[in-house]
Structures are given as C-alpha cells and as structure tokens.
Structure 1
Amino acid sequence: MTGSAFPRPAGELTSLLRDIRAAAADDTMPELGYRAYRDYFDTGNRLRYERHYFRRRARLAARAAQALLDPDTDLGPLSDTLWSVCDEYTWALPAHVRHSADQDRGPEQCLDLFAAETAHTLAETVAALDGRLDRRVADRVRGEVERRVFVPFTDPRPLNWEGYRNNWEAVCAGAAGMAALALLRDSPTDADRLAAMLGRSRAAMDRYLAGFGGDGGCAEGVDYWVYGFGYFVYFAEALREHTGKDLLAGPKVAEIAAFPHRVALGAGAYAPFSDASERPWLPAGLLTRLAERFGTPAARVVPSLHDDHCYRWGHLSRTLAWFRPGPPATAVEATSFLPDLAWVVSRGRFAFAAKGGHNDEPHNHNDLGHFVLHTGGRSVLDDLGAGEYTAGYFGPGRYEHLHPSARGHSVPVIDGQVQLPGADRTAKVLRYRDDGQTVNFDLDLTAAYQVAGLWSLVRRFRWWPDGRLELVDEIDADRELPVEEVFVSRVEPTLSAGAADWGGLVRLGHECPRASVEEVTAADHHARPDRVYRLSCRTTAPAGRSVHRFVFDLG
C-alpha cells in the first residue's frame, strides 16, 4: 500500500471505520512533558508515560487513516498532529532510550521499536498524501524521519537490537525499511542509499527467522508472533512489490505462519505461555494475507481500533488495505506438537497444553513442565502471562515478580528450591506420542533445579481428550526431600480430603498428606490487580525412587 490510498473497505470493517472516525474527531492530544518523561527513571513505572504516548499514536493513526480513506477530509487536524509528533523530544520510550548509547547518540535518535513504528506511520502518510498535504508539514516530517531514524539506520555501527533474533529485529528493521521505501523509492538520487537500507533490513529479517526452529514456534507467545511476524510480513510484501524478491518463500516461513493456529485452545483462546495473553488480538489484514499465501485460516473477527493499545500503523493500515472476507475456517489438527519449542497443545471440547524448552527464552518465564487446562471457555489451571512491564521486570530482579517466576507456574518446588533461570536449565523431551486415544508427553526436568541429592525429576503427562489428565512426577534422590506440588489458577479451589475443586470446572484427586491454598495478588500487564490462587500439595519424597500422581477431571 506504499504511496497509495486504501481500496474501498470491505463491509465487515464498518465497526473499525466507526472507531477511526471517532478517534480522529477527538481533539485531546496529551502532552509528553518532562515530568512524564522522567517518571520511568525515577520510579521504574512505564505505564504513566506510555498511556499518554499511545493516546497520541491513536490520534496520529486515526487521522492518517481517515485522510487516506476519505479524499474530502480536512487535513488541518492531521497536520497539527503530524507537527506535534515532530515536536516530541524522542519517539522512543523512556525504557528504551539507552539503546542509542551504543552509537553515542541522544534519545532523539534512539531507534527503538516505537521510533521505527512512528517513522513508518509518518512516512507512509506523507507519501500517500503527496500533493494534498501542506508542503511545510510534509517537509518537516521528512526531515524528522531522516534525522531520527534514517541517520542511525544508515550508520554502519551496529544498533543495539541487531542480533536479538526476536521481534525487535523484525519490527525495527521492517518499519525503518518500509519508511525508507515510502520516502525514497521515487528518488533516483537516493537509489544507492535505499538499497543499503533495504539490505540492512533484510539482514535483520534473516536473523529474525534464524531465531525460530524448524517447527515455526514462537517462544515469546502469540502476542509477540503478531508483533514480530506481522512486521516481517508487512516488510516482505513491501519489498516484493518493489524488487520482486519474496521473503515469504520457504518452508520455515510457512511453519511460522501456522503457529497461532497450532497453539489455539479454541474459541479465541491460545496457549498463554511466556509474556503472552490467553486472548491476543490477531490483525485481520495479516491473517487475510497469510491465508492467501499459505492457506492458513482466514480472519474470523475484525478487531476494534482499540484492541491494539499501541495503535500500530503496520497492523491498522494492512487491515484496511488487505482484509477480505475469507471462507469458513479450515479444520486444524486436534493435537499439535512443536518439537523445537517443546510445546504440546490438544484441543476439542476441552484443551490441554504443556511446555518444555529452557529457562532463558525470549520473555522468559521459569516454567519448565508447566501446563494449562482449558474448559468452559477459560483456562482454569492457568498461565498468568505477562505481568506489568517495569524497570524491575526486565532487570536482575525479574524472577521476584510473580508472573515470570516459578512461583507463578504449576511446577514443583523441591526441598524448598524453585526452578532457576538460565539456558542450561532445560527440559529434555523423553517422549511424545499421540495414538488418537491419549496424548503422552514426558519431560526430564532435573536440570531446572539445583538441589543436593536430587538425581532425577521426570514429569509425565497423559491426556485423554474427553477431559482427563494424569500427571505423574517421578523423583529419584539419595536422601529424603520435601516436595511441594503447586497448581496455579485464577479460580479459587475448594479443598477436601485428597481432592480439590475449581468451581466444578476442574477436579483434582491427589495423595498428598497436606494441601493448602495461598491467595496472591500481583499487577497484570495493564497494572490491574491480578488475583491468583496457588494450591500447594505437600509431601515427602523418600530416598530412592518415588512416584507422585495427580488426576484432573474437567467438566
């Protein structure tokens, strides 16, 4: 869609268009003053600044979309918005401005995710409105995109995120590359510069793809698949339009495209491992293009403008440009096993998901052997997903926060010791087998712990799709070890002798002599109170080999 207005929107986009008109008509433009900027550095809080920042991006995206949808739109309000964004001290978030230090640049030239996304929004808007927008506004936008993004992106020194091999590579390089295509593609004098920038973007995309295993699984979860792979696709299609080179060709990309459908629990829910959410929004335009290219399921729901609280132009513009109603959803395999990621997801009337992997994954949680049980439209034995992003959440004290810690997952505590972080803290897959009647998934979790005398800890899952899970932990030790088996839910369980019941949705039978429930409240990703119930079944593993069995029945 580079350099052009949108086609006539499909009728299914009516509610989205209504959202755009309402947001474009809103005259409030929050200020990003010094007190807001310094708040993160003083307190570690990200949300107070970011709420103002993203409300500004909502105004920018809505007014840009409205102008491209309706040629009779008064461009005065959009011009004011563009000018105001050009006035911002930095387009990066305060939590990210340190990323400019490697090039000895100030915050105004920090090329983070959001600076790149801002440049992309501004560049495509100015290019598409060429001849309609006041030249003084257009020239200022071009100058700010050049200074803030193109200059650091053409500096040969490495950028801090180059080498991350995660969503940062795809978003930063993809958005910067699309901005360059929008503003430089029609300038013969900029041909060499554009080629160099596109080459840098393509190198980042190669590294991004290298971060996936052959199964196409995204360790960061579906939300970050939407983010990173979305921008990979948007850039790939813009590049294909410009050069004919197709980055979407190849079997690994097809596997990545299928990822969310392979980890779906049903009815709009997905396995929420890592810093993910159970009900992420999937951009309708992205799903439409993937369905066309790979035959994956088409979009069934057109999200609201406000489902993306960051108001990213990549997602919004490609939904407006690409979305077309698709055929009914194709059938997805009942059980998916992603061997590189070491995830199993089985879906039907009931759903079960479990994971292995290692404890140094992107957006890592200490969660080897963790599992989810989903029934009645909700995950009852749950994964908490992302907590509130603060300075501490991404600092040395990350695992003091409930959501990413082992305490926030349904994994055992051995001799008072929880799982530890690190790439060497791994879960070895011993067996995966689906015979059509049951799903078996066995993991060796020994390396996740550092407990004197613990020789072996093996967790075995046996899942019946009619709603029954048998969980067995086999412990081999040279001494007696206290064991605390933990099961995490947002539903408060009731306890009885040898049993627990989560609201009639899931029932547990166990042989632990002592069981108790701890209520813990933490902050969720949006800083709202997140009330969690940790069921602890305490027992003792004697010296030698012992078996600890738990049976869950779903209703």
Structure 2
Amino acid sequence: MTGSALPRPAGELTSLLRDIRAAAADDTMPELGYRAYRDYFDTGNRLRYERRYFRRRARLAARAAQALLDPDTDLGPLSDTLWSVCDEYTWALPAHVRHSADQDRGPEQCLDLFAAETAHTLAETVAALDGRLDRRVADRVRAEVERRVFTPYTDPRPLNWEGYANNWEAVCAGAAGMAALALLRGSPADASRLAAMLDRSRAAMDRYLAGFGGDGGCAEGVDYWVYGFGYFVYFAEALREHTGEDLLDSAKVAQIAAFPHRVALGGGAYAPFSDASERPWLPAGLLTRLAERFGTPPARVVPSLHDDHCYRWGHLSRTLAWFRPALPESAVEATSLLPDLAWVVSRGRFAFAAKGGHNDEPHNHNDLGHFVLHTRGRSVLDDLGAGEYTAGYFGPDRYDHLHPSARGHSVPVVDGQVQLPGPDRVAKVLRHHDDGESVCFDLDLTAAYGVAGLRSLIRRFRWWPAGRLELVDEIDTERDLPVEEVFVSRLQPSLSPGSADWDGLVTLTHGCSGTAVEEVVATDHHARPDRVFRLTCTTTAPAGHSAHRFVFELR
C-alpha cells in the first residue's frame, strides 16, 4: 500500500468508484485566500474555511484514487491538483496553527492532523506513480512534504500533541509515519531518517493505546474511534508490510477493535456520548481488516466517497484496497458493560445506554448519569452529540454551549446548580448486574455537584429489554433542596398530570409537582439548527433521605 497502485476493488464498490470519477471530473478548486484564512481568527468560525479546504481534499483524493486505479488516466488534472496543494499557505487548519509555536515554526510548518494527512496523501500518490508523474511535479511534492512535515517531525523538540494520548497521537504520527514509509526508501541517509521517524511514531502509538482502559472503550465516541484507531491500524499494517512487526498483535488492541460493536444501539445507530454522532460513518476497509484480524463484525454498508466530509486518504485508499464482501458474521452480546469508561449499553428491539466516567474526558461533556432510550430507529431520550466546532467551543466558555453542557443532558439540576467540569467530578459505579431478565446500573453522582448540604446523590437504573426503564434518584441532604429532573429529546413531549409522552414512542410516569418544556435552538456539528426540548420535572428533596422515581415505557 505504501508504494504501489491500488488493486482492482471489489465489485460492490461500484457506487464508490462512480463517486470518485464524478469528483475527479469536477474542476472546482476553491481558493484558500487571505480573507478565508483570517476568518477563523476574526470570528471564531471554523466551517467557512474548512468547507473550502475539504472540497480541495475531495478533488485531491478522487484524482489520486482514479490515477492509481486506472493506468490510462490522464495525469494532467492530478498534476494541477498536486501543484495547487503545494501552493497552499499551510496544510494545517487555522484553528490548529498555534500548535507550531512550540517549535518556533510558522503556520506552513504546523504539523497538525490535516497537515499530516495531506502529506500522507501526497507521499503515497507520488510513490505509487513513480515514473508516470512529471518529475517536476513529483520533485515539488517531495520537497513540500519534506519542508512542511518531515522537518518538524525529525526535530527532537516535542510537538504540541505528543502526550495527548488521544486521536491526535494516532493520526498525526500514523500519517507522518506512512508518508515516510512511502518516500524514504532510497539512500542510507533516508533509511536512517526513516528509522528515527518510525521510532517516534511507535512512541506516539504507545501513548495512544495507553489512553484506553482495559475495556477498549473510546471516551471520545465512535467517530473519534474511527479517526484515531483507523489511523493506528493503517500505520500498523504499513509498518508490518515494511518490517514484519505487528502492532495489532495485542489483547488490548483486540478490545479496542470491538468498541463500536459493543456500543451499537442497532440499525446503524451508536451511543453518541461526548462529541460523537448517533450515526457515525465506519470505513468499510477498516472494518474488513479488523474482521479478518479479530473476528469483529464486517462492513455492512457500501460507502460513498462523501461519507467522510474530510475526504481522508487513509480511509478511502484502504477501503479500495481492503474491502471484501460477505465475511462471516460474528455475534455481538446483547448487553455490554465497559467498566473503565463506565458505560452500559443494551440492545435488541429497544436499546438503552447510560454513562458514568468523569467530567474531564477527551471531548468532554458534563454528563455523568446521562442516558439514551432508543426505539423504532431513533433515540427519543437523546444525546445531542457534537455541537458546532468554533473557537469558543474549545475555549474557556465551552460549557456555555448547549451540547457539551450539563443543560444539554438528562441529568439533575440540584439547588439551581448543574454538574461541574473537572477530573474530580467523577461518577462512581456502585453496582452493575445483568441477570438476562433486567440490567441494573447504579452510579454515585455526588462528586459531580458543588451543592452545599448535598450529602449524596445516587442514580439507579433498572432496564428491562422488553422496553421499560425505571430510574430512581436517591438524594441525601442536610436541608431541603429544590431539584429539577431534566430529560432531553429532539421530540417535543406532550404533558399530562404525572406523565409525559414523546410522540407515542416513549412515555414517562413521575410523581413531580411541576413540569415544563423548554425549547432551545442551538447549532449542530455542521452548523445546522438543532431544535432541542428540555422537559423539566420539578420536585423537592427534603432534609434527610428521599427517592424520586421515573418510569419510562418504550413502544
């Protein structure tokens, strides 16, 4: 894969090949001028620049794929695209260029996720087209990959993302390492530099894996599992091809490979905790390779080129090279507990998911004790997933945004105070029990709050897979405390005394004295309006011990 044309893809990928041809024929190459670049710094808006950037990457990936699939392809359009990418001021996104400051480098040498991915695309394309591509184009590509990525990656000073132990480690180190494998196979000097770069990538992969608990769970959610673990696997397989070393030969890696299947809700939906989405895209090539190596479920969906709005070469090229249809199906347990993440997921005709953890996780949401109820193909009691990424979303005002805030989750508000962020805001798992008839999951949420007089808040879930959830919040307090029990949905509930109904899909029975529905319109990850309904059931926790019971029925 690191230095050869793509093999003939499986016949089931016909629609993907059609997408590639259409995108390769598109002559639109948006400009990345100064006004577009400065927009993020002036307004905090990421999407306006990034949409242009990713349309350019779509054209690059499509033309590269077409050239590697068809030896008769006219390379003139691809050469223009390669030349244009080499003209870009920086391959990093404006939101990330600060990462180059630690090495006293300018934005053009910022080694972020997207600079590394761009180098990977260019390197494998040029290496595979050796002898076919005009030497002036190939030489310029090699020089730009060297200047923008290899030079900072061989500088011994630490890069800003080294130590993150999340998807950045795997993507940046994996893509840079694969670029080096593609281009540095010549002189003894190249071999020495390649060895040093591979050592740096191995160290990053060790840190990436250390970020997982023994359960293999990804606190960032399935989307970021695809991103980080995908690039870990792509690099690992490229390294195995080059050296015979097998980074996938690990019990922990096998657990990580199973993660999305253990948090599946059914019908292509997954628990969308953190900055994840309910219906993430899982690359068919990645799933195929993991099924071959670990016996995990294979790909069930034929991909579109546009499933990945960033048009990453790692995903596209490995789907074209690795996808195989009709692999044997493997069974997935009906209920999964991930003890390190403190997530429980039960799936069947209906699905239920709940989480503990702490409020300083990667892509954190203040969501301890939050839960999802899924029926008839949709999550009715919902997790909002990721909001629009802006400067503020990743800044000190993050929890003023609905999606990551406690206000955007089905968790209690106690004495007017929401859950607080921080690593010490921890949900302790008190009990998990699955007897085949029902699932019990009890969490101590006391540390999530900073309420004077609150001695303890225990949230107890009991789930029956036939479609019933009993939720009990047990509160022990030194004084009377007002409590708002909040339940979040994108469906507007209808209210009756002691009950609520979400479009006949889920009903709630409760004993609270007051109820109200608040409509909030935020913006989702793609800057579209996101209409959310917060049902608040108001009650009082009297001094001493009290229990507040809520029963949900799914249809």
Deviations 1:179-210 (A, max 9, x none): 00000024333111100000000000000000
Give the Å deviation of 1:308: 0.2
For 1:459, the aligned partner's letter is: R
Residue 84 of structure 2: SS of its match in structure 1?
helix
For 2:172, the aligned partner's letter is: C
Q: What's the counterpart of residue 547 of structure 1?
A: 547
Q: What's the counterpart of residue 271 of structure 1?
A: 271
Give the Å deviation of 1:330: 1.9
Contact 1:288 1:326 in 2 (8 A): no
Contact 1:509 1:550 in 2 (8 A): yes
Partners of 2:302 and 2:405 in 1: how far apart? 34
For 1:351, the aligned partner's letter is: A
Is residue 433 from structure 1 mapped to residue 427 from structure 2 by the alignment? no
Residue 229 of structure 1: SS of its match in structure 2?
helix
For 1:415, the aligned partner's letter is: D
Partners of 2:6 and 2:30 in 1: how far apart? 28
Give the Å deviation of 1:331: 1.8
Residue 522 of structure 1: SS of its match in structure 2?
strand
Partners of 2:345 and 2:296 in 1: how far apart? 18
Q: What's the counterpart of residue 348 of structure 1?
A: 348
Q: What's the counterpart of residue 95 of structure 2?
A: 95
Q: What's the counterpart of residue 27 of structure 1?
A: 27
For 1:30, the aligned partner's letter is: P
Partners of 1:236 and 1:526 in 2: how far apart? 31
For 2:242, the aligned partner's letter is: H
Q: What's the counterpart of residue 401 of structure 2?
A: 401
Q: What's the counterpart of residue 470 of structure 1?
A: 470
Give the Å deviation of 1:250: 1.1
Partners of 2:307 and 2:434 in 1: how far apart? 36
Two-structure CA RMSD over aligned residues (Å): 0.5
Residue 348 of structure 1: SS of its match in structure 2?
coil
Partners of 1:239 and 1:2 in 2: how far apart? 9
Q: How does 1:287-298 map to 2 (within 5 A)?
A: 287-298=287-298
Q: How does 1:312-323 map to 2 (within 5 A)?
A: 312-323=312-323
Is residue 187 from structure 1 mapped to residue 214 from structure 2 by the alignment? no
Q: How does 1:368-407 map to 2 (within 5 A)?
A: 368-407=368-407
Deviations 1:146-181 (A, max 9, x none): 000000000000000000000000000000000000
For 2:179, the aligned partner's letter is: A
Give the Å deviation of 1:69: 0.5
Residue 229 of structure 2: SS of its match in structure 1?
helix
TM-score, length-scaled by structure 1: 1.00
Give the Å deviation of 1:8: 1.0
- The number of residues matched between the two structures is 555
Give the Å deviation of 1:328: 4.8
Deviations 1:270-292 (A, max 9, x none): 00000000000000000000000
Q: How does 1:323-362 map to 2 (within 5 A)?
A: 323-362=323-362
Deviations 1:52-107 (A, max 9, x none): 00000000000000000000000000000000000000000000000000000000
Q: What's the counterpart of residue 284 of structure 2?
A: 284
For 1:177, the aligned partner's letter is: G
Q: What's the counterpart of residue 453 of structure 1?
A: 453
Q: What's the counterpart of residue 37 of structure 2?
A: 37
Q: What's the counterpart of residue 538 of structure 2?
A: 538
Partners of 2:363 and 2:187 in 1: how far apart? 40
Give the Å deviation of 1:327: 2.7
Partners of 1:136 and 1:302 in 2: how far apart? 37
Contact 1:4 1:128 in 2 (8 A): yes
Deviations 1:36-56 (A, max 9, x none): 000000000000000000000
Q: What's the counterpart of residue 252 of structure 1?
A: 252
Q: What's the counterpart of residue 71 of structure 2?
A: 71
For 2:351, the aligned partner's letter is: A
Q: What's the counterpart of residue 61 of structure 1?
A: 61
Partners of 1:327 and 1:462 in 2: how far apart? 36
Give the Å deviation of 1:7: 1.0
Contact 1:359 1:365 in 2 (8 A): yes
Q: What's the counterpart of residue 491 of structure 1?
A: 491
For 1:215, the aligned partner's letter is: D
For 1:54, the aligned partner's letter is: F
Contact 1:342 1:355 in 2 (8 A): yes
Residue 19 of structure 2: SS of its match in structure 1?
helix
For 2:395, the aligned partner's letter is: G
Q: What's the counterpart of residue 308 of structure 1?
A: 308
Partners of 1:185 and 1:463 in 2: how far apart? 57
Q: What's the counterpart of residue 205 of structure 1?
A: 205
Is residue 443 from structure 1 mapped to residue 443 from structure 2 by the alignment? yes
Partners of 2:239 and 2:187 in 1: how far apart? 16
For 1:299, the aligned partner's letter is: A
Which residues of structure 1 form unaligned runs of 5+?
none
Partners of 1:187 and 1:284 in 2: how far apart? 36
Contact 1:165 1:211 in 2 (8 A): yes
TM-score, length-scaled by structure 2: 1.00
Residue 53 of structure 1: SS of its match in structure 2?
helix
Give the Å deviation of 1:302: 1.9
Partners of 1:188 and 1:156 in 2: how far apart? 20
Identity across aligned pairs (percent)? 89
Partners of 2:89 and 2:193 in 1: how far apart? 26
For 2:454, the aligned partner's letter is: L
Residue 131 of structure 1: SS of its match in structure 2?
coil
Partners of 2:260 and 2:185 in 1: how far apart? 34
For 2:496, the aligned partner's letter is: S
Give the Å deviation of 1:329: 2.8
Q: What's the counterpart of residue 168 of structure 2?
A: 168
For 1:4, the aligned partner's letter is: S
Is residue 419 from structure 1 mapped to residue 419 from structure 2 by the alignment? yes
Partners of 1:216 and 1:302 in 2: how far apart? 26
Residue 63 of structure 1: SS of its match in structure 2?
helix
Contact 1:487 1:536 in 2 (8 A): yes
Deviations 1:319-372 (A, max 9, x none): 001001133532210000000000000000000000000000000000000000
Give the Å deviation of 1:501: 0.2
Residue 86 of structure 1: SS of its match in structure 2?
helix
Partners of 1:126 and 1:142 in 2: how far apart? 8
Residue 258 of structure 2: SS of its match in structure 1?
helix
Residue 59 of structure 1: SS of its match in structure 2?
helix
Is residue 151 from structure 1 mapped to residue 156 from structure 2 by the alignment? no
Q: How does 1:208-227 map to 2 (within 5 A)?
A: 208-227=208-227
Residue 396 of structure 2: SS of its match in structure 1?
coil
Contact 1:283 1:302 in 2 (8 A): no
Partners of 2:61 and 2:126 in 1: how far apart? 12
Partners of 1:245 and 1:8 in 2: how far apart? 27
Q: What's the counterpart of residue 228 of structure 2?
A: 228
Partners of 2:116 and 2:330 in 1: how far apart? 35
Q: What's the counterpart of residue 363 of structure 1?
A: 363
Give the Å deviation of 1:432: 0.3
For 1:439, the aligned partner's letter is: V
